[in-house]
A and B are shown apart, each in its own frame.
Chain A
Amino acid sequence: MAKTKSLLRQDGPLSIEEAYASRPRLWWVYTLVILIVAALLGWSGTSITYNGLANKGISIAQGIGYGLLHPDTSLLFNLTPEGVPYQLLQTVAIAVLGTLIGGILAIPFSFLACDKIVPKPVALVFRAVILGIRTIPSLVWALVWIRVTGPNAFCGVVTESVCSIGMICKMYITAIEDIDTRILESLDAAGCNGFQKIRYGMLPQIIPNFISTVIYRFDINVKDATTLGIVGAGGIGAALIQCMNSSRWSMVGAYLSGMIILMIFIELFSTRVRTRLARG
């Protein structure tokens, strides 16, 4: 890579012209990156072809636009299980329980996968397990769990719990590795026993991190829970997809607008709590 020449010479600083003449020249890096991207794009373009709009594509697009602008208000304020509020409540409930259980299950996993605490081979085994859990997409987990629990909201809870483990563990492990061990040593010197060391030396350091991780994951899980309904694992997705398949656009509009409002609220809430946690 072309390095900038030192701006100072033996006989004083460079003049403006000299400094400009020795500016970093990275044109070949840029060309290489652009060439690689262009090659990848050319390769990708080979099987992605635009075949024109689908049969009735335009009327569907118009329907979606119309539905979003004219949501079905009777559905939007309907308090029965078919109504938007209950569906949203169920979606959030799935995410809450899923995140909570996932967050708790992740604690032993992350301690066992942290090579500062357990021997390296053990840590490697658990890391592989976590990676395996993370690779299976949440939709596939849901389809597998449905065979166990049947198609209901509980399936969503179990799916979210398992799927959350992967990412939560990754962030827990970072938090555990960042623990300041000098505090533990000074507690040791002050004559604290093992329990006290954990209570006063470790927990205050990791708990804010853990809670912050869990809340962040909650944000993702709510979004995931909205799609789990597509395979029948509870939440708003099932009703939404049914309405989309039968082209009832104003109902689609009602479900979508409810979902958008919910997601915005949750994002604002989670950002607020997490900034407060970060500042202490």
Chain B
Amino acid sequence: MKKKTSEKAYRVPLFDRVFKPRTVTLPNGHTVQKPVSRTPFIAAIVIAIVLISAKVTEFDFGIIISRGYQLGYILGRIFQPNWSYFGGDPANTAKLFNALFDTIKMSIMGSVIGATLALPIAVLSSTNINKNKYVVWFLRILLMVIRTLPTLIIAKFAALIFGLGTFAGTVAIIIFTFGIIAKMMYESIETIEMGAFEAAESFGANKFQAFRTSAMPQILPTYLSYCLYSLEMNIRAAAILGYVGAGGLGILINEFIGWRDYESLGAVLLALFVVVLIIENTSQYLRKKLS
């Protein structure tokens, strides 16, 4: 079939060039082209990927069936937490609550510092405010690299450099929060209404003044809501950082699993559960107010 010049703008996808679409003639004489369904093609790819993955990971469902009782046994003990950690034994209570407060402190400190550092970088990496393309792309690639690093690996590095303890965990959380908030913020800065910003600039305000007076009021609610959201995530993340020696509940989790003391592990998880629940609900309430 010969193509008209007006149709040239539309490039036929590769798939339709390999598998020619079926031409159907309608009762009124018009012809329409029905492309071949892509579903079998995608399904074949997905099945191939799944088979390769199953081979690489030595997938063996039989193990779960034959040894699944182990999980029931462990979970059963986790769900009977050791209550001596909640006031029963002063030493244990102090141990648990110190670790719990360390975790909370690490995540609050890390979130606040990370979020503060993220704001100027987010402004510098949004294309509508910073016209310097090279700086924008440099910062964006930097942020992308930071976001790809798992928190535990950053925490491990920090623990090696700054020694074991809460400071290393705080550094890890700062870096993690920084990467996420900077990315979410430059995306929302790019969607702001630029009229007020340009007007302020045309009155002779410099970029900083224009941003403070005309862009800041627009992004402040979003920014605060992202900060709260990252605080929610950081509490969960901070809880396991201790596993690589960065302070907080993770140290206890590591200890109790090593000793197979699942009742105490249950107590730690229960404490974490309550804190996460409180912080998530408070933050969701505040975020609803902000929007």
The B-contacting residues of A in range 149-163, CB under 8 angstroms, are 149-150, 152-154, 156-158
Q: Which partner residue on chain B sits nearest A266 by CB separation?
A: B148
Q: Answer yes or no: A96 CB below 8 A from chain B CBs.
A: yes
CB-defined contacts of B53 to chain A, threshold 8 Å: 92-94, 96-97
Q: Which partner residue on chain B sits nearest A225 by CB separation?
A: B150
Q: Which partner residue on chain B sits nearest A46 by CB separation?
A: B105
CB-defined contacts of A241 to chain B, threshold 8 Å: 156, 244
CB-defined contacts of B272 to chain A, threshold 8 Å: 135, 137
Query: A135 near B56 (CB under 8 angstroms)?
Result: no
Query: A41 near B109 (CB under 8 angstroms)?
Result: yes
Give the complex CA separation of A46 and B244 in angstroms.
Answer: 22
Contact A137 B240, CB 8 Å, known A54-B162, A89-B56: yes
CB-defined contacts of A44 to chain B, threshold 8 Å: 104-106, 108-109, 112
Contact A148 B50, CB 8 Å, known A47-B102, A97-B57, A154-B59: no
Question: Could you say which of A46, A234, A244 contacts B57, with CB atoms under 8 Å apart?
Answer: A234
Q: Answer yes or no: B37 CB below 8 A from chain A CBs.
A: no
Question: Could you say which of A51, A140, A260, A263 contacts B163, with CB atoms under 8 Å apart?
Answer: A51
Give the complex CA separation of A262 and B138 in angstroms.
Answer: 19
Q: Answer yes or no: B264 CB below 8 A from chain A CBs.
A: no
Query: A135 near B163 (CB under 8 angstroms)?
Result: no
Q: Which partner residue on chain A sits nearest B157 by CB separation?
A: A64
Q: Distance (Å) between the CB of B115 and the closest chain A CB?
A: 10
Residues 264-291 of B, flagged 1 when their CB comes within 8 A of A and 0 if not, give 0100010011001000000000000000
Give the complex CA separation of A267 and B149 in angstroms.
Answer: 13
Q: Which partner residue on chain A sits nearest B49 by CB separation?
A: A96
Query: B170 near A48 (CB under 8 angstroms)?
Result: yes
The B-contacting residues of A in range 258-275, CB under 8 angstroms, are 259-260, 263-264, 267
Residues 144-161 of B, flagged 1 when their CB comes within 8 A of A and 0 if not, give 110111111100110011
Q: Answer yes or no: B7 CB below 8 A from chain A CBs.
A: no
Question: Could you say which of B57, B78, B106 contacts A157, with CB atoms under 8 Å apart?
Answer: B57
CB-defined contacts of B253 to chain A, threshold 8 Å: 137, 139-140
Q: Which partner residue on chain A sits nearest B106 by CB separation?
A: A48
Q: Distance (Å) between the CB of A146 and the closest chain B CB?
A: 9
Residues 235-254 of B, flagged 1 when their CB comes within 8 A of A and 0 if not, give 01001100110000010010
Query: A47 near B105 (CB under 8 angstroms)?
Result: yes
Query: B101 near A148 (CB under 8 angstroms)?
Result: no
Give the complex CA separation of A224 and B151 in angstroms.
Answer: 10
Inter-chain contact total with CB atoms closer than 8 Å: 166
Q: Answer yes or no: B81 CB below 8 A from chain A CBs.
A: no
The A-contacting residues of B in range 129-182, CB under 8 angstroms, are 144-145, 147-153, 156-157, 160-167, 170
Query: B56 near A147 (CB under 8 angstroms)?
Result: no
Give the complex CA separation of A40 and B164 in angstroms.
Answer: 23
The B-contacting residues of A in range 15-72, CB under 8 angstroms, are 33, 37, 40-41, 43-55, 57, 60-61, 64
Query: A227 near B153 (CB under 8 angstroms)?
Result: yes
Q: Answer yes or no: A144 CB below 8 A from chain B CBs.
A: yes
CB-defined contacts of B74 to chain A, threshold 8 Å: 144, 147
Q: Which partner residue on chain B sits nearest A150 by CB separation?
A: B63
Q: Distance (Å) between the CB of B192 and the closest chain A CB?
A: 18
CB-defined contacts of A150 to chain B, threshold 8 Å: 63
Q: Distance (Å) between the CB of B15 and the closest chain A CB?
A: 13
Question: Could you say which of B57, B60, B167 contacts A94, with CB atoms under 8 Å apart?
Answer: B57
The A-contacting residues of B in range 216-247, CB under 8 angstroms, are 224, 236, 239-240, 243-244
Binding site for B on A (CB under 8 A): 33, 37, 40-41, 43-55, 57, 60-61, 64, 89-90, 92-94, 96-97, 100, 132, 135-137, 139-140, 143-145, 147-150, 152-154, 156-158, 223-224, 226-227, 230-231, 234, 237, 240-241, 244, 256, 259-260, 263-264, 267
Q: List 12 A-B contacts (CB under 8 A).
A: A43-B105, A48-B166, A52-B163, A57-B163, A64-B157, A93-B53, A94-B57, A145-B71, A231-B243, A241-B244, A263-B148, A264-B148
Closest 10 CB pairs of A and B: A54-B163, A263-B148, A93-B53, A44-B105, A153-B57, A44-B109, A93-B56, A227-B152, A96-B53, A227-B150
Binding site for A on B (CB under 8 A): 49-50, 52-54, 56-60, 63-64, 67-68, 70-71, 74-75, 78, 101-102, 104-106, 108-109, 112, 144-145, 147-153, 156-157, 160-167, 170, 224, 236, 239-240, 243-244, 250, 253, 257, 265, 269, 272-273, 276
Please give 4 more A-B residue pairs, beta carbons under 8 A apart, in addition to A143-B257, A241-B244: A154-B58, A154-B63, A156-B57, A267-B144
